[in-house]
Amino acid sequence: MSDWLWWRDGVVYQIYPRSFQDANGDGVGDLEGIRQRLDHLAWLGVDAIWLSPCFPSPMADFGYDVADYCDIDPLFGTLADFDRLLADAHTRNIKVVLDWVPNHTSDRHGWFVESRASRDNAKRDWYVWRDAKPDGSMPNNWTSMFGGPAWEPDDTTGQLYLHSFLKEQPDLNWRNPELVEAMHDVLRFWLDRGVDGFRIDVIHRIAKDAALRDNPPAPGSLYTWGNQRHDHDENHPDIHAELRALRAITDSYRERMLVGEIGLPPKEVATYYGDGDELHLGFNFAFLHCPWDAARFRTEIERFERLLPPGAWPDFVLSNHDVPRHASRYGQPAGREAPGPPGHQTGREAPGPPGHQTGGDARARLAAMMLLTLRGTPFLYYGEEIGMRNVPVPEDRLQDPLARTLHPSLSRDPERTPMCWNATPNAGFTTAATPWLPIGPQPPRTDVATQREDRASLLWLYKNLLALRRNHDSLHRGSYRSLDAPEGVLTYERRSNSEIARVALNFSDQPRNISLGSGRITHQLHTNASAAVATSADLRLGPCEGVVLILTT
Ligand code: GLC
């Protein structure tokens, strides 16, 4: 495959560094831990890893408050550890994507320390400072996404600074050319080191209304953020010129990639691809809010295909560090594998008999088959390959600032718990007595070691789907077309010059008869490892079962 392009044809795997592997026994994951686990990722067959932020940070927002863009936090290791991880990943043909947070820094970043020191400091204008209104009220009505007003008074100079998130995360001023140049240098620093791309945090917020006009009110939400229309504090047209400049920098290196987090509806996300001169990919979060419904998934898939400008490449995401894991969101249909009893610890149970389907329920299997057979780069979230669920975190162990600033029920900790590598009490994640977040409970056999022993496991389904996607250009590059299907079933075709892949996914809880047309079946993969081998494209799929057929034309 001479024209293989990793970020288009491959699969990206997101790692939350605090929770992947702890190599130094302090209860928190680190870069050396990730390096030690690269063989798992190579075995699985992913093409790239995206690391959530690992830069020096006071961890007010667990790394999304960066105190130095060009170093590694000692909690995670050193720059030398990073270089070793990068080199070892590259040896295995795995690309490395960093998480770049351009909208804000930590309030401990040297730039902000200078900026807040005096009104005439050279870096004053690198952040957004304003006087209070004559009546003492805030400069405008903007609110923080993490609760309360977006302005924080600062005693040193008597002005207020803007923060879209925590008050410990002051917003940078992208209207200041020196700041823009400094941020470009940050990209070059990592690109020169060999980093393959960036996931860009909340890129839709880097430019705001220059006059800082009030947002129109839109009452009705429990939280201040939802009580206004964000007309003036996000999605400003000036962002697109900034993106073109970022793209020009990455394009001056070979095969580098920018994927942006854009917290806006798909119609707006599509505009962040520009004319092929802005982002390579804009995260398509449609599935994060999609109910378990074949018709709704079809609508979302077709919508993104339709909205993207010509030549733009889609992507799909089922889980990430900000939303409940999809294995928890979609739960499980009645009568399927029950989770362990309350209080059950991860993987304590012996593996099931050969042929028994371990890890994840039928819905996790079907979702995996969909994600890995669509036209568009799949983004996996660590642990989804073994069916990890959200872990309930007791209130006295909550870490996420959202639990404090908004409500404990909004904590993102449950989807950020440690990776489960084996069936020991700390799941092979750490030797520390207490990991930073609890390991379980998880359903029985939710760990890598157990599932690797079982060819019928969810882990093997992921591995087999990744291999099928890689080996068939219909699946990694082919066109997409929805097919007619019985109610509750999603069927589609992926077509390249040489072959056709047809996929049928039964989202319903009833068996369904499906016809996937004609053609000679050369390869097939079922979600259910014990399903009968299909001899024709007329099939009967059990509840929550799916199949991929590769057919010759
Ligand atoms: C993004 C990140 C989220 C973080 C926020 C503020 O949405 O994904 O985890 O809290 O930005 O940086």
Of 333, 463, 324, the C-alpha closest to 388 is 324
Length of the chain equals: 553
Same domain, 401 and 523: no
Same domain, 241 and 326: yes
Q: Is residue 129 part of a domain?
A: no
Atom of ligand 1 nearest to the CA of 320: 8
Same domain, 292 and 417: yes
Residue identifier of the C-alpha nearest atom 4 of ligand 1: 64
Hey, which of 52, 64, 167, 399 would you mutate to test ligand 1's pocket, going by the most ligand atoms within 8 Å of its Cβ? 64
Same domain, 330 and 230: yes
Residue identifier of the C-alpha nearest atom 7 of ligand 1: 202
Q: Is residue 401 part of a domain?
A: yes
Domain span including residue 533 = 479-552
Same domain, 207 and 340: yes
Beta-bridge partner residues of 482: 492
- End of a domain among 462, 489, 520? 462
Question: 9 to each of 209, 307, 390, 502, how far by Cα in Å?
Answer: 37, 20, 30, 18
Hey, which of 99, 103, 202 would you mutate to test ligand 1's pocket, going by the most ligand atoms within 8 Å of its Cβ? 202
Same domain, 519 and 433: no
Same domain, 365 and 325: yes
**For strand 197-200 and strand 257-260, is the pairing parallel, antiparallel, or unpaired?**
parallel
Q: Is residue 14 part of a domain?
A: yes
Same domain, 254 and 401: yes
Token pair 């620093």: residue? 189
- End of a domain among 434, 462, 490? 462
Structure tokens given for 205: 């917020």
DSSP conformational letter for 4: -
Atom of ligand 1 nearest to the CA of 166: 6
| 3-class SS shares of the chain: helix, strand, coil, % to 5 | 30, 15, 55
Q: Which residues line ligand 1 (CB under 6 A)?
A: 61, 64, 101, 165, 201-202, 261, 321-322
The pLDDT value given to residue 332: 55
Same domain, 446 and 499: no
* Separation of CA 425 and ligand 1 centre (Å): 31
Which pairs count as long-range contacts for 27-30, CB under 8 Å and 24+ apart, including other chains? 27/430, 27/432, 27/433, 27/434, 27/435, 27/436, 28/75, 28/430, 28/435, 28/436, 29/76, 29/418, 29/419, 29/429, 29/430, 30/75, 30/76, 30/77, 30/81
Instruction: Output the domain CATH number for residue 513.
Output: 2.60.40.1180
- End of a domain among 403, 428, 462? 462
Those residues with Cβ within 8 angstroms of residue 182's Cβ, 6 or more apart along the chain or in another chain: 111, 126
DSSP conformational letter for 244: H
> Which of 9, 30, 152, 201 is labelled catalytic?
201
Question: For each of the chain's 553 residues, which pLDDT tens digit applies?
Answer: 459 999 999 999 999 999 999 999 999 999 999 999 999 999 999 999 999 999 999 999 999 999 999 999 999 999 999 999 999 999 999 999 999 999 999 999 999 999 999 999 999 999 999 999 999 999 999 999 999 999 999 999 999 999 999 999 999 999 999 999 999 999 999 999 999 999 999 999 999 999 999 999 999 888 899 999 999 999 999 999 999 999 999 999 999 999 999 999 999 999 999 999 999 999 999 999 999 999 999 999 999 999 999 999 999 999 999 999 999 999 854 333 333 322 222 222 333 333 334 445 899 999 999 999 999 999 999 999 999 999 999 999 999 999 989 999 999 999 999 999 999 999 999 999 999 999 999 999 999 999 999 999 999 999 999 999 999 999 999 999 999 999 999 999 999 998 999 999 999 999 999 999 888 999 999 999 989 898 888 999 999 999 999 998 7
Helix, strand or coil, per DSSP, at residue 490: strand
Same domain, 440 and 512: no
Q: Is residue 492 part of a domain?
A: yes
Beta-bridge partner residues of 190: none
Distance between CA 378 and CA 460 in Å, rounded?
17
Question: 379 to each of 276, 329, 419, 447, how far by Cα in Å?
Answer: 21, 17, 17, 20
* Separation of CA 73 and ligand 1 centre (Å): 18
Q: Is 201 a catalytic residue?
A: yes
Same domain, 457 and 385: yes
* Separation of CA 182 and ligand 1 centre (Å): 21
Distance between CA 547 and CA 487 in Å, rounded?
17
> Which of 242, 261, 278, 384 is labelled catalytic?
261
Instruction: Output the domain CATH number for residue 69.
Output: 3.20.20.80
Atom of ligand 1 nearest to the CA of 101: 12
The pLDDT value given to residue 518: 86
Q: Is 493 a catalytic residue?
A: no
Distance between CA 424 and CA 428 in Å, rounded?
6
Question: 305 to each of 243, 368, 466, 469, 538, how far by Cα in Å?
Answer: 22, 20, 22, 19, 28
Number of domains in the chain: 2
CA 358 from centroid of its chain's CA atoms: 25
Name the helix (H) or strand (E) containing 206.
none
Name the helix (H) or strand (E) containing 217.
none
Beta-bridge partner residues of 259: 199, 281
Same domain, 408 and 510: no
Q: Which pTM value belongs to this model?
A: 0.95
Please report which residue ranges of 308-405 form alpha helices under DSSP H.
326-329, 362-371, 401-405
Backbone angles phi, psi at 320, to 5 degrees: -155, -170
Those residues with Cβ within 8 angstroms of residue 122's Cβ, 6 or more apart along the chain or in another chain: 114
Structure tokens given for 113: 């320390």
Q: Is residue 130 part of a domain?
A: no
- For 161-203, the DSSP string reads EE-SS-TTSPBB-TTSHHHHHHHHHHHHHHHHHT--EEEETTG
Residue identifier of the C-alpha nearest atom 5 of ligand 1: 64
Those residues with Cβ within 8 angstroms of residue 1's Cβ, 6 or more apart along the chain or in another chain: 9, 473
* Separation of CA 493 and ligand 1 centre (Å): 35
